[in-house]
Structures are given as structure tokens and as C-alpha cells.
Amino acid sequence: MVERVDSGTTRVDSGTTAPVRAGVPRRAGRWVARWARWAHRGDAAGDDTGGRSSWARGRVLAVLAVLTAGLLAFHRTVPNSVGHVGSLLEAFLPWLGVVVVVLLGLALLRRSTLALVALLLPVAAWTYLFGGLFLPGAEPGPRDLLVVQHNVSDENADPAGTARALADAGPDLIALEELVPSALPVYEKTLAPDYPYHAVRGTVGLWSKHPLTDARPLDIKPQGIAEGWNRGLRTAVRTPHGEIAAYVAHLPSVRIRASGLASSWRDESAGLLGEAIAAERRDRVVLLGDLNGTVDDRGLAPLTSRLNVAERGFAFSFPSGFPLARIDQVMARSAAVADIRALPATGSDHLPVAARIAWG
């Protein structure tokens, strides 16, 4: 026999009692009570809280938390007119999460309820922007296309090893940048058994398991760059599930200087590439390349406004020793970039990235 009694316990016929499982509200209440006791314990101990309550302490931390939330939520409003400060912020936008963690630690040290409540704002903003990248992706479909993008570096001392590492990932397409004349034959020979079709224009190339047609250079050279600069390729790929247009691009590098972010050439080249993709007659498009910018960077807006970006995964790719940002991108039109991940390091200063393209 089991009998409910007023004490909140359950009496069983053995004469013993078992506590009722606490619900979420009860546990939350206990945590709040524990925090209140802990927050005020410092006052009795005579620490540096100055006798103020936990709601009066940590005002500076609370202000910093609100400012961090503002930068996350309204990063587009940061002006780009002077030093491309807006683009510089957006290049490292996910790393504002580290600022939130530091502020959290300081808030706990200060025993500041005010700062902890204020931190809910940047936590919510960061989660809204980047939390979805941690979610598991959908199961691969029969029409999916696996692609690899890699800036192999013009100083790569092991092009054969790099090519084998990329082929071992088993992609349908491999896009490469910084192909130099001395290394190109090595890539061609090493990849030929698994990738019989390839097209190279200038310093960029595409290797494919499926036939390529209508390959041609893509003019994305900004004004002021010397002739002979050729970093764009457009070709058609005859996949088993239909023909797609594939673009491979290597946009100009950016530099962080005392005056800010030098990205004018990159931005101009992105605009030219965006116009070419907008004029593409084929509905299905995939873009692979070292775009020297993150998908949050407004300098790549001519591309991100027209193409879908990765829905899952961070895949920071540069620099390879301690990746801080993903500047190697895979984007698509009339398809979803279901997920993206970084591959192990090669002889390059970039990490390769592999992405799964899910056609409708």
C-alpha cells in the first residue's frame, strides 16, 4: 500500500519514506536561494564588496555586458566608413562569446546579481546568432554532394601529401587555390585516379568525379591590380542528379593595419563575383573559394545576399596553427549547405573545409 501524506513524502508499506522528486521550479528556487546566501556571504566576511547588496555591485560589468550584447545584435550598425571597423568586428564576431565568459567569471567573483542578469542579454544574442551551428545536421540524402575547399598555399612543401589527404575525404568536388606552376603537375597526377576531370584557370582549379564542361576564367580582378592576376573559374558539372554551375574564387587578401582593416580590393572583387553569379543562367550554383572573409562580414554581402551559407558547423580554417576564422567558404544557390567541417592540417597555412550540399 502507498499513501500520500501532508509532509510531502510518500509512505510505503514497509514503513520507510521516500522523498518526492523535486520538479524544475523547486530546483530553480533552491538555486536562487543558494545564490542569495552566497552573494551576501561576502558582506559578512568583510571582503571588497563595500557593504553593498549584490544588486548594487558590478555596475561596470553590467554595462560591459549590455555593450557586448549591442555589438552582437546590432553589428551591422557599426560604421564601416573609417578603417572598415564594422567588417573587422564581424570577422571575429563569434569570439565575443569569450568576452561573455570572462564577464561571467568576473561577475561571480564580484558576487553581482546585477551583472549576472545583464549577462543574459549577450548570451541570448550570441545563442541567436551562432547557437544553431552546434545543432546536429540532417541525415545525408541520396542527392547530396560532398565538396572540399582548400587554399593549398603557394609555399606548400608537400603537394602530393596534400592532394592525397583531400582525396581521402572522398568528396565529389575539390576546389584548390594558390596553384603554382611547379606544384600543379603534382596535384594533377596525384588526383587523377579518383578525379579524372579537372579545370584550372590561373591559380585556381576544380577537380571532379563528374564530367566538367564549359570551363572558363572568371574576371574578378579589381582595379589597381596588375595584369595576369587570375583567380576566378566558372565551369559546369554534370552530376548524376543534374547539371550545376561551379564557381571557384580566391578574393584578394585583407590586412589589419593601424588605420583599420584594408579590404577595399576584397570588397570590390566580391562585388564582381556577386554580379557574375547573379547573371548565371543555371539555377543550381555552388561557390567554393578562399574569400578572405567570414559570412558575417558585410564585405561579402554581394555573395551572402544571393547564396545560402553553412547551416551547421564553425569550421574555422585560418590560420592553420590556431584557426580564428573561417575564410574558406562553401555557398550554394537552390540548395542548402547542410554542414561544414574543418579537415586535418596539410602543408598549407589554411585548413581544408568539407561541406555537404543538399539539393532540394
pLDDT digits (tens, 9 = 90+) for 202-214: 999 999 999 999 9
When pLDDT is cut at 50, 70 and 90, the band that residue 245 belongs to is: very high
pLDDT at 260: 87
- Is it the case that residue 151 has pLDDT exceeding 90? yes
The helix/strand/coil state of 249 is: strand
pLDDT beyond 90 at 61? yes
Per-residue pLDDT at 52: 64
Q: Inform me whether the pLDDT recorded for 126 exceeds 90.
A: yes
Domain boundaries, the chain: 23-133, 141-359
Q: Give the containing element (helix H, strand E) for 18.
A: strand 17-19
Average pLDDT over residues 330-353: 97
From 124-128, 131-135, 254-258, 280-284, the region with the lowest mean pLDDT: 254-258
SS3 of 95-153 = HHHHHHHHHHHHHHHHCCHHHHHHCHHHHHHHHHHHHHHHCCCCCCCCCCEEEEEEECC
CATH class entry, domain 141-359: alpha beta
Q: 167: which 3 cell numbers?
A: 582525396
Question: What mean pLDDT is predicted for residues 70-99?
Answer: 96
- Range list of β-strands (E), 218-352: 232-239, 242-250, 255-257, 260-262, 285-290, 328-333, 335-342
Nearest-angstrom CA–CA distance, 298 and 4: 63
Work out the percent of the chain whose per-residue pLDDT is above 90: 77
Q: Which amino acid is at 353?
A: V
Provide the grid cell at 123. Answer: 548570451
Q: For residues 343 and 162, is the Cβ–Cβ distance under 8 A?
A: no
Amino acid, single-letter form, for residue 120:
L
Can you tell me whether residue 238 is helix, strand or coil? strand
CA distance 140 to 127: 25
Mean pLDDT of the chain: 90
pLDDT in tens, 105-114: 999 999 999 9
